[in-house]
């Protein structure tokens, strides 16, 4: 080939172009900021981007710029950060001051209330629950979903109990971890709320809760700790209330010392809406993003006042940098920050309805597993082949619940009421007669075929309603009464608590009259927890608690009533016989005096109180019946002697001895025999839901780690697993123990408060006895 030939010259040109292109690529790569390099660690990318922000840009990231967003920084590829309610689904679009915008494309799947989710005792369903919300939030362009709600039920009167997960920190922790994992796997951040002890809505913005450190760490914080250290939750919301004299959104001990210090939380602490009250306390005590303070947003506590303090030297820049670093960390985790030189990507979310058939089926499945059969004298399941007429009685039979309750409200594409679900199941084979029976408090939201045409039921003459209901009961083969509570003021709703445990609107007397007119009366109650039932419970043959069951609730209820689904729910909260039996009320420790409430019951919350004080509840924690029967046998306790950390495998056999397929929740409680410090009589430390065919038997194994035997010692700043003997109790509720054995810890170990759950405990030789810490309830 000639050196000067056209071919040679062309090859030389191509080589030069290739060399130039490679050189440009290398130069571009060298110039490319670290924060845009996906191969770099998230922490390094956040640090690089932090250094490129001006002080004013940083401050813009730590407070709201609208009802549900914080500002972006377009020049660096930082978008607005979008948040939304809530724990039960993706809330419809709202404007300033929560004005409903009436969009036509923001329908979402209304999931059952999370108290109902907890009643399933099924962590796999919690994962599915979170995934449904995460997928729909992602499609709506939401980055942070404000849920789950992880507060412990201290009083059955709390207006938000329906969106909490019951009275037990272990059950709440297990369900919360799976919920968060399911949701965050969709590329959306969960926000564990309300940190901490938002135990009452009465005076929630100001109430000062006096809680001792051990109670705080053993009862009210474990679910949050699990959310952070096990589920990796990216955001946490501060609560409205005060704890020990400081608002939770400005609480040094909660936010800086425990959450960020002991637990190593790397994400964002966001305030509840309007939960910040002071610039200096919010700045210095761990609040990262202020939300909900009204416009103008530049005047919010963490806006211009914060900027002014930075300029004057009142606040160190390092505090601002820590807040922004956390903000950026979460945005990188969610893959939100993009190269500003690259055109913004179009929305790649799948087209079509947010609420898919698959999501609706999951909602129905959760509802079916949540229903708790409280009583059954061989009336359920109903057999349509033997029934000609059913009287459906009660305002809740035609009520819709999803679009109520406060920030947890959802706008579903439809909602199947109880009456519709029963009608769907029976068709024309059985005659249904409906009677309202009572006026729902506040007026129930009545069902219509198209959402947007909801109507509040008119108030009718009560005596006529009762007479019509009794007449319908007399001519029916079976009565299905569907009553309970609703989301109206003074019942299950944000911003207020119930006044008592009574069924509203004369329902107690109505039920008595119905069962007198027709002894074959099934009572179905919907609501967010316990009600008093003493005046009629002994007279009714069947009782089912259905919580707030979501958009498929009516179909789910019909499936359980007619035996298509065997109920397997268990109570996540104790149902007392009367309000005075509950600990906070027995000790006159609710709602507080002069703005302060002291948690006198200490550790004795829920069943811990009833069991320790030997008070019989109406229905105990963990209780729930089935259409089949189960037998427990062959308990075997196997210590792990090869581990540096005490572990115990609890093994037993569980058999379905009935004629129907069904599921049993096997619950494991630990009871210290001779504790050196005050401890509740027993505590839930393990459970497993098992599905069995008729005649089937399974061997069940549950591992208890050192935490199952531990109590918190504030003086040692750690969790003490004390040497000694422990009873291991296995059964179907806190009061229904079938198997028991004894396990001995040979030595005392202590795990520091700041140790992750997987860290090995340091050994501590017990000397001179163990510290004893008591509250008023424990001394009584």
**Residues 6+ away with beta carbon under 8 Å from 155:** 199, 200, 497, 582, 584, 585, 590
Question: Given a cut of 80, is residue 772 above it in pLDDT?
Answer: no
Average pLDDT over residues 618-624: 98
Average pLDDT over residues 602-614: 98
pLDDT of residue 31: 76
262 counts as catalytic: no
What is the rounded distance in angstroms from the CA atom of residue 509 to the CA atom of residue 524?
Answer: 15
Question: Given a cut of 70, is residue 659 above it in pLDDT?
Answer: yes
pLDDT of residue 86: 87
Q: In what order do the strands lie in the sheet with 662-672?
A: 683-692, 662-672, 724-733, 736-745
Question: Given a cut of 50, is residue 338 above it in pLDDT?
Answer: yes
What is the rounded distance in angstroms from the CA atom of residue 738 to the CA atom of residue 375?
Answer: 20
Question: Given a cut of 80, is residue 349 above it in pLDDT?
Answer: no
Average pLDDT over residues 46-70: 97
Cis peptide before 196 (omega within 30 of 0): yes
CA nearest neighbour of 163 among 219, 273, 234, 89: 89
At 204-226, the pLDDT tens digits run: 999 999 999 999 999 999 999 99
Average pLDDT, whole number, for the chain? 92
At 132-145, the pLDDT tens digits run: 999 999 999 999 99
Question: Given a cut of 90, is residue 351 above it in pLDDT?
Answer: no
At 449-483, the pLDDT tens digits run: 333 345 566 778 888 999 999 999 999 999 999 99
What is the rounded distance in angstroms from the CA atom of residue 179 to the CA atom of residue 125?
Answer: 8
At 470-517, the pLDDT tens digits run: 999 999 999 999 999 999 999 999 999 999 999 999 999 999 999 999
pLDDT of residue 21: 46
When pLDDT is cut at 50, 70 and 90, the band that residue 645 belongs to is confident
Catalytic one of 168, 262, 272, 713? 272
pLDDT of residue 329: 98
pTM: 0.93
Question: Given a cut of 50, is residue 27 above it in pLDDT?
Answer: no
Question: Given a cut of 50, is residue 23 above it in pLDDT?
Answer: no
**Interior/surface letters 592-616, b for 16+ CB within 10 angstroms, e for the rest:** beeeebbbbbbbbbbbbbbbbeeee
Average pLDDT over residues 517-534: 98
When pLDDT is cut at 50, 70 and 90, the band that residue 675 belongs to is very high
When pLDDT is cut at 50, 70 and 90, the band that residue 643 belongs to is low
At 64-90, the pLDDT tens digits run: 999 999 999 999 999 999 999 989 999
Question: Between residues 760 and 112, which one has the greater pLDDT?
Answer: 112
pLDDT of residue 3: 47
pLDDT of residue 52: 98
When pLDDT is cut at 50, 70 and 90, the band that residue 197 belongs to is very high
At 684-715, the pLDDT tens digits run: 999 999 999 999 999 999 999 999 999 999 99
Question: Given a cut of 60, is residue 246 above it in pLDDT?
Answer: yes
When pLDDT is cut at 50, 70 and 90, the band that residue 756 belongs to is confident
């Amino acid at each position: 080939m000639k050196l000067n030939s056209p071919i040679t010259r062309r090859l030389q040109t191509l080589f030069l172009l290739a060399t130039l292109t490679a050189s440009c690529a290398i130069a571009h790569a060298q110039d490319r900021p670290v924060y845009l390099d996906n191969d770099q660690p998230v922490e390094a990318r956040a640090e690089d981007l932090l250094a490129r922000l001006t002080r004013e840009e940083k401050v813009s990231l730590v407070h709201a710029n609208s009802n549900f967003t914080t500002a972006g920084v377009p020049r660096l590829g930082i978008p607005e950060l979008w948040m939304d309610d809530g724990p039960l689904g993706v809330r419809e679009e709202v404007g300033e001051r929560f004005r409903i915008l009436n969009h036509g494309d923001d329908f979402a799947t209304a999931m059952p209330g999370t108290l109902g989710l907890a009643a399933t005792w099924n962590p796999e369903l919690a994962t599915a629950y979170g995934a449904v919300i995460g997928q729909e939030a992602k499609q709506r362009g939401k980055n942070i979903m404000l849920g789950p709600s992880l507060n412990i039920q201290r009083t059955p009167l709390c207006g938000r109990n329906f969106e909490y997960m019951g009275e037990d920190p272990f059950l709440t922790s297990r369900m919360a971890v799976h919920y968060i994992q399911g949701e965050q796997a969709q590329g959306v951040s969960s926000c564990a709320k309300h940190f901490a002890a938002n135990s009452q809505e009465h005076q929630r913005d100001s109430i000062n809760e006096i809680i001792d450190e051990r109670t705080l760490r053993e009862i009210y914080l474990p679910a949050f700790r699990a959310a952070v250290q096990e589920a990796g939750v990216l955001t946490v919301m501060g609560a409205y209330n005060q704890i020990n004299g400081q608002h939770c959104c400005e609480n040094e001990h909660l936010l800086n010392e425990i959450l960020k210090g002991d637990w190593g939380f790397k994400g964002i602490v966001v305030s509840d809406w309007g939960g910040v009250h002071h610039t200096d306390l919010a700045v210095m005590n761990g609040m990262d993003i202020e939300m909900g303070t009204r416009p103008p947003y530049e005047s919010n506590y963490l806006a211009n006042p914060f900027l002014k303090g930075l300029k004057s030297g009142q606040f160190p820049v390092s505090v601002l940098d820590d807040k922004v670093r956390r903000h950026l960390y979460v945005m990188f985790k969610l893959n939100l920050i993009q190269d500003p030189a690259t055109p913004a990507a179009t929305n790649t979310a799948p087209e079509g309805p947010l609420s898919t058939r698959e999501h609706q089926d999951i909602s129905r499945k959760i509802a079916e597993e949540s229903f708790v059969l409280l009583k059954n004298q061989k009336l359920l399941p109903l057999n349509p082949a033997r029934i000609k007429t059913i009287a459906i009685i009660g305002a809740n039979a035609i009520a819709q619940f999803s679009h109520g309750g406060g920030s947890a409200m959802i706008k579903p594409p439809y909602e199947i009421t109880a009456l519709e679900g029963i009608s769907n199941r029976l068709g024309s084979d059985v005659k249904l007669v409906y009677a309202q029976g009572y006026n729902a408090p506040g007026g129930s939201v009545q069902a219509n075929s198209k959402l947007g045409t909801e109507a509040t039921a008119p108030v009718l003459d009560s005596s006529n309603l009762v007479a019509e209901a009794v007449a319908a009961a007399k001519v029916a083969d079976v009565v299905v009464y569907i009553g309970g509570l609703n989301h109206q003021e003074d019942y299950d709703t944000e911003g207020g608590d119930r006044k008592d445990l009574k069924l509203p609107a004369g329902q107690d007397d109505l039920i008595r009259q119905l069962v007198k007119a027709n002894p074959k009366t099934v009572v179905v109650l919907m609501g967010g927890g316990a009600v008093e039932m003493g005046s009629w419970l002994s007279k009714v043959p069947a009782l089912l608690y259905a919580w707030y069951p979501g958009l498929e609730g009516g179909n789910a209820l019909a499936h359980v009533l007619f035996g298509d689904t065997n109920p397997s729910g268990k109570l996540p909260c104790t149902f007392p016989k009367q309000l005075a039996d509950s600990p906070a009320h027995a000790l006159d420790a609710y709602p507080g005096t002069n703005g302060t409430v002291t948690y006198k019951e200490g550790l004795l919350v829920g069943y811990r109180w009833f069991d320790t004080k030997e008070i019989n509840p109406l229905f105990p924690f963990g209780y729930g019946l089935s259409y089949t029967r189960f037998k427990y046998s062959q308990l075997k306790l196997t210590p792990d002697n090869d581990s540096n950390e005490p572990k115990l495998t609890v093994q037993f056999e569980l058999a379905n001895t009935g004629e129907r397929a069904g599921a049993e929740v096997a619950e494991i409680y630990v009871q210290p025999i001779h504790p050196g410090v005050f401890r509740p009589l027993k505590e839930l430390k393990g459970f497993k839901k098992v599905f069995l065919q008729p005649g089937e038997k399974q061997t069940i194994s549950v591992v208890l780690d050192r935490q199952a035997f531990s109590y918190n010692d504030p003086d040692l700043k750690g969790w003490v697993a004390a040497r000694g003997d422990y009873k291991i109790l296995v059964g179907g509720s806190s009061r229904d123990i079938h198997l028991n054995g004894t396990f001995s810890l040979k030595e005392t170990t202590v795990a520091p408060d700041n140790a992750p759950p997987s860290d090995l405990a340091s050994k501590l030789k017990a000397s001179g006895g163990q510290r004893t810490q008591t509250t008023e309830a424990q001394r009584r």
